[in-house]
């Protein structure tokens, strides 16, 4: 018999966070989070997402053993302002037991029906900067710190319970050796001259901070047209600056500005922390922070995290400037592999942008929907 318990105390939230450590113990591909960081993600006094969202955390028990977890989420900006009557759920992990997955999703459904929502979709997070999608292909590739990894049986559980595909995301990677600088080195000079643009490179994180809010504003502007987009609020900007900027090498952030120094485009690339996080195994001390710092300095793999371009400059070749700057930086650093974060299958423009790099789709992930 499966019983559900809502995790409300700090001790219960820690159990919620630590459950996947047992579920994926010994996996070569699962990348554990830092337990302290994950606890803060679920702390209502720390994460500003809770100002605009109601969240319930549930643990599934068989006897005294935890066998599954799920977070049920209502984003009220999405529901009230955007009129999208969606019940979100995420951080959904479970043993290969249909009774467990059914009990957890039934609880999410009950909350959605109680609040008169129209459908439920997951796995998703609080906002567009959270993790998204259940992995359906690419189980033999290591995960990243900004994606969920899961066992292959998850997909079958969703579909058995009457869920159907809502959105599909592709993850692509390419070798830096596949990049031909001739494709963008001359073009970027013409683009800069035509539109009066210039690049800004950084060597210190402190120099990025004054630009950070403008970058998030441009992020909101860039992706506003995509389905399911929930804008980042001002208070969330401060939270994400504190949470992520320290992980990014300043030379991996590129800005493009116009003659008035107005931000036209930005891109953020992160070193791959996957191996470092596996070695840390959820703990910063005593050695976890050392492994992460080693990854930050020496990783030969990078993750393309975000790219944003002001709408009026899209399809005008601005990406050639960004590619040129990254090519110079990556060549100097000896970067081997470039891995892109999940991109909507429907986002043809982003795939066109990368076509000259001969990318390979190595993972697919999906969100599932069920009408209420």
**227 has pLDDT over 70:** no
Pick the closest to residue 109 from 161, 175, 181 (CA basis): 161
Which range has the worst mean pLDDT, 49-58, 174-183, 203-212, 235-244? 235-244
**Does residue 320 sit in the same domain as residue 189?**
yes
* End residue of a domain, out of 144, 172, 200: 172
DSSP 300: S
> Number of folded domains in the chain?
2
* The two structure tokens encoding residue 179: 């990049």
**Does residue 123 sit in the same domain as residue 271?**
no
Residue 369 maps to a domain: no
What's the rounded Cα separation, in Å, for the pair 215 and 66? 41
Over the stretch 24-66, which tens digit does the pLDDT of each residue have? 999 999 999 999 999 999 999 999 989 999 999 999 999 999 9
* End residue of a domain, out of 172, 190, 217: 172
**320 has pLDDT over 70:** yes
Domain that holds residue 192: 175-361
**228 has pLDDT over 70:** no
Cα 153 to Cα 33, 51, 61, 133, 161: the distances in Å are: 22, 34, 19, 14, 13
**178 has pLDDT over 90:** no
Over the stretch 232-245, which tens digit does the pLDDT of each residue have? 888 888 887 777 77
* The two structure tokens encoding residue 279: 């070695």
**What are the φ and ψ backbone dihedral angles of 180, each rounded to 5 degrees?**
-105, 105
3-state secondary structure 114-166: HCCCCEEEECECCCCCCCECEEEECCCCCCCCCCCCCCCCHHHHHHHCCCEEE
Identify the pLDDT of residue 353.
80
* End residue of a domain, out of 142, 172, 202: 172
What's the rounded Cα separation, in Å, for the pair 319 and 352? 11
**205 has pLDDT over 80:** yes
**267 has pLDDT over 70:** yes
> pLDDT-based confidence at 226, cuts 50/70/90?
low
**Does residue 267 sit in the same domain as residue 198?**
yes
What's the rounded Cα separation, in Å, for the pair 73 and 107? 12
Rounded to two decimals, the pTM is: 0.92
Residue 224 maps to a domain: yes
Contact between residue 327 and residue 346 where contact means Cβ atoms under 8 Å apart: no
**90 has pLDDT over 80:** yes
- Mean pLDDT for the chain overall: 93
- 249: helix, coil or strand? coil
| CATH number of the structural domain spanning residue 112 | 3.40.630.30
Task: Assign 3-state DSSP to the chain and report helix, strand, coil percentages, each to 5.
Answer: 40, 25, 30
**Does residue 127 sit in the same domain as residue 219?**
no
Determine the average pLDDT of the residues in 268-272: 93
Cα 130 to Cα 89, 91, 199, 342: the distances in Å are: 12, 11, 28, 11
Over the stretch 333-369, which tens digit does the pLDDT of each residue have? 999 999 999 998 988 877 888 888 889 999 999 999 9
**225 has pLDDT over 90:** no
* The two structure tokens encoding residue 22: 């047992």
> pLDDT-based confidence at 181, cuts 50/70/90?
confident
What's the rounded Cα separation, in Å, for the pair 72 and 116? 15
Residue 371 maps to a domain: no
**Does residue 113 sit in the same domain as residue 262?**
no
């Amino acid at each position: 018999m499966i019983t559900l318990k809502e995790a409300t105390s700090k001790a219960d939230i820690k159990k919620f966070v630590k459950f996947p450590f047992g579920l994926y113990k010994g996996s070569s591909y699962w990348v554990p989070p830092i337990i302290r960081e994950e606890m803060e993600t679920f702390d209502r006094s720390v994460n500003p997402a809770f100002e605009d969202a109601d969240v319930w955390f549930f643990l599934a028990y068989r006897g005294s053993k935890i066998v599954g977890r799920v977070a049920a989420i209502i984003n009220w900006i999405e529901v009230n302002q955007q009129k999208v009557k969606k019940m979100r759920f995420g951080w959904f992990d479970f043993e290969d037991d249909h009774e467990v997955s059914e009990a957890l999703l039934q609880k999410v459904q009950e909350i959605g029906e109680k609040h008169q929502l129209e459908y439920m979709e997951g796995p998703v997070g609080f906002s567009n900067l959270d993790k998204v999608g259940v992995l359906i292909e690419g189980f033999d590739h290591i995960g990243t710190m900004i994606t969920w990894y899961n066992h292959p049986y998850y997909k079958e559980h969703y579909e058995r319970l009457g869920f159907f595909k809502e959105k599909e995301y592709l993850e692509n990677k390419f070798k830096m050796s596949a990049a031909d600088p001739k494709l963008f080195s001359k073009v970027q000079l013409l683009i800069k001259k035509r539109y009066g643009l210039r690049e800004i490179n950084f060597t210190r994180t402190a120099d990025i901070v004054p630009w950070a809010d403008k970058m998030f504003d441009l992020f909101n502007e860039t992706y506003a047209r995509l389905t399911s987009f929930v804008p980042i609020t001002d208070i969330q900007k401060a939270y994400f600056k504190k949470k992520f900027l320290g992980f990014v090498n300043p030379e991996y952030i590129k800005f493009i500005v116009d003659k008035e120094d107005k931000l036209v485009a930005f891109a953020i690339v992160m070193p791959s922390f996957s191996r470092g996080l596996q070695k840390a195994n959820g703990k910063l001390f005593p050695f976890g922070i050392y492994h992460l710092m080693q990854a930050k300095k020496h990783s030969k793999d990078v993750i393309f995290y975000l790219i944003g371009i002001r709408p009026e400059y899209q399809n005008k070749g601005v990406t050639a400037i960004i590619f040129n700057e990254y090519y110079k930086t990556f060549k100097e650093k000896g970067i081997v592999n470039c891995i892109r974060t999940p991109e909507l299958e429907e986002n043809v423009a982003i795939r066109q942008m990368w076509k000259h790099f001969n990318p390979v789709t190595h993972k697919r992930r999906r969100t599932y929907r069920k009408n209420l």
